[in-house]
């Protein structure tokens, strides 16, 4: 039992369970918007929400485990990541790959419980979630692959509730893709020397750290512009519009925490602030819908 508990703790650390807060609030935002106007929303939403959460846990766990399996040798050669579970000998590659496959099956099973379209699209989602691990071997734009892996969450949640795709929700997917891609650019600045030596591709490695910071700023500005468009498509009122402004201010604060010459507060900028941004946006959209519903 102690060994099983230790392995469970190591697995949860490996998949960074606490970072689920990045994509989940945007998925829940899509759930709220998709449920609006459905006459049977009170009846169907609890069950839909439960299976959406199971699907997201399965998908994200599988993606993170597969990434650790695919990057095991790279992690072992990188001073920043050499103490991760596989290079440190805490978990075997076979165990991690088995965990990735098991959680992928959980994801597909949950997709099957939601509706036919989510089941049909689940292999495509897994291809994106697993495929982004290999992009840094071939393109400097690998950050957008990670962004898309998170950005699929709101579109997938919408389809889970409605059983069909509304093109408007793709605007939120594009916004989340640029948001996550931008902060991954900043995070990759920590591995500038290693990526160059190992022949891996990233914007910092290709453009230099200062130029990569500017690229991340452009991505986050475009995210803000897309959120404005998204708010208009869904007829946001005061609360929703304030949420978009709050995202802009928080992004500005995130960028103020680090600079090309000082990456010491990267964890605060990357982990803490991005979680706050996602939760704040969800809170304001929920408030907007609540006021609209009870008006």
Beta carbons of 269 and 190 less than 8 angstroms apart: no
Residue 2: the pLDDT is: 46
pLDDT in tens, 115-155: 999 999 999 999 999 999 999 999 999 999 999 999 999 99
- Which of 254, 250, 275, 251 shows the shortest CA–CA distance to 265? 254
CB atoms within 10 A of CB 14: 21
Mean pLDDT of 55-73: 92
Domain annotation for the chain: domains and CATH numbers: 2-294 (1.10.357.140)
Residue 274: the pLDDT is: 87
Mean pLDDT of 166-173: 97
pLDDT in tens, 22-42: 789 999 999 999 988 777 777
Beta carbons of 116 and 46 less than 8 angstroms apart: no
pTM above 0.75, yes or no: yes
Of the candidate ranges 1-5, 68-72, 150-154, 245-249, the one whose mean pLDDT is the lowest: 1-5
Q: What is the dihedral of CA 226, 227, 232, 237, to 10 degrees?
A: -170
- Phi and psi angles of residue 262, each rounded to the nearest 5 degrees, phi first: -150, 100
Residue 1: the pLDDT is: 43
Residue 91: the pLDDT is: 87
- Which of 273, 276, 179 shows the shortest CA–CA distance to 222? 179
Question: Long-range CB contacts (< 8 A, 24+ apart) of 132-140?
Answer: 132/63, 132/67, 133/66, 133/67, 133/70, 133/71, 134/70, 135/201, 136/195, 136/200, 136/201, 136/202, 137/200, 137/201, 138/201, 139/201, 140/201, 140/202, 140/203, 140/205, 140/206, 140/207
Mean pLDDT of the chain: 90
Radius of gyration of the chain (CA): 19
Residue 225: the pLDDT is: 97
Mean pLDDT of 7-15: 73
Mean pLDDT of 171-182: 97
Mean pLDDT of 89-109: 93
- Phi and psi angles of residue 199, each rounded to the nearest 5 degrees, phi first: 75, 25
What is the band of 20 on the pLDDT scale with cuts at 50, 70, 90? Answer: low
What is the band of 104 on the pLDDT scale with cuts at 50, 70, 90? Answer: very high
Q: Tokens representing 190? A: 């920590």
Mean pLDDT of 49-59: 93
Cα separation, 118 vs 218, in Å, equals: 33
Three-state DSSP at 275 gives: helix
Beta bridge partners of 259: 262
| Cα→Cα distances 194→54, 75, 199, Å | 36, 10, 8
Mean pLDDT of 157-177: 96
Residue 135: the pLDDT is: 93
> Which stretches does DSSP call E strand in 160-222?
none
pLDDT in tens, 184-227: 999 999 988 888 888 889 999 999 999 999 999 999 999 999 99
Residue 4: the pLDDT is: 60
DSSP string, 130-167: HHHHHHTTT-TTHHHHHHHHHHHHHHHHHHHHHSS--T
Residue 5: the pLDDT is: 65
């Amino acid at each position: 039992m102690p060994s099983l508990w230790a392995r469970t703790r190591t697995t949860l650390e490996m998949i960074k369970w606490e970072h689920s807060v990045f994509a989940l609030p945007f998925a829940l935002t899509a759930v709220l918007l998709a449920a609006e106007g459905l006459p049977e929303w009170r009846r169907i939403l609890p069950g839909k929400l439960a299976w959406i959460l199971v699907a997201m846990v399965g998908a994200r766990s599988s993606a993170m485990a597969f990434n650790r399996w695919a990057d095991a040798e790279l992690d072992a050669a990188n001073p920043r990541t050499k103490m991760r579970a596989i290079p440190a000998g805490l978990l075997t590659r076979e165990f991690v790959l088995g965990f990735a496959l098991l959680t992928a099956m959980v994801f597909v099973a949950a997709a099957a419980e939601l509706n036919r379209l989510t089941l049909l699209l689940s292999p495509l989602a897994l291809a994106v979630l697993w495929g982004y691990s290999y992009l840094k071997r071939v393109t400097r734009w690998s950050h957008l692959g990670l962004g898309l892996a998170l950005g699929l969450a709101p579109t997938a949640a919408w389809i889970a509730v409605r059983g069909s795709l509304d093109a408007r929700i793709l605007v939120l997917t594009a916004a989340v893709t640029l948001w996550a891609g931008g902060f991954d650019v900043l995070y990759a600045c920590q591995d500038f020397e290693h990526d160059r030596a190992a022949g891996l591709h990233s914007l910092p490695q290709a453009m230099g750290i200062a130029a990569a910071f500017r690229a991340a700023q452009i991505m986050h500005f475009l995210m803000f512009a897309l959120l404005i468009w998204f708010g208009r498509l869904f007829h946001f009122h005061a609360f929703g519009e304030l949420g978009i402004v709050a995202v802009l201010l928080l992004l500005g604060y995130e960028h103020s925490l680090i600079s090309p010459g000082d990456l010491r507060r990267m964890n605060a900028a990357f982990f803490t602030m991005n979680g706050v941004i996602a939760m704040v946006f969800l809170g304001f959209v929920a408030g907007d819908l609540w006021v609209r519903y009870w008006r």
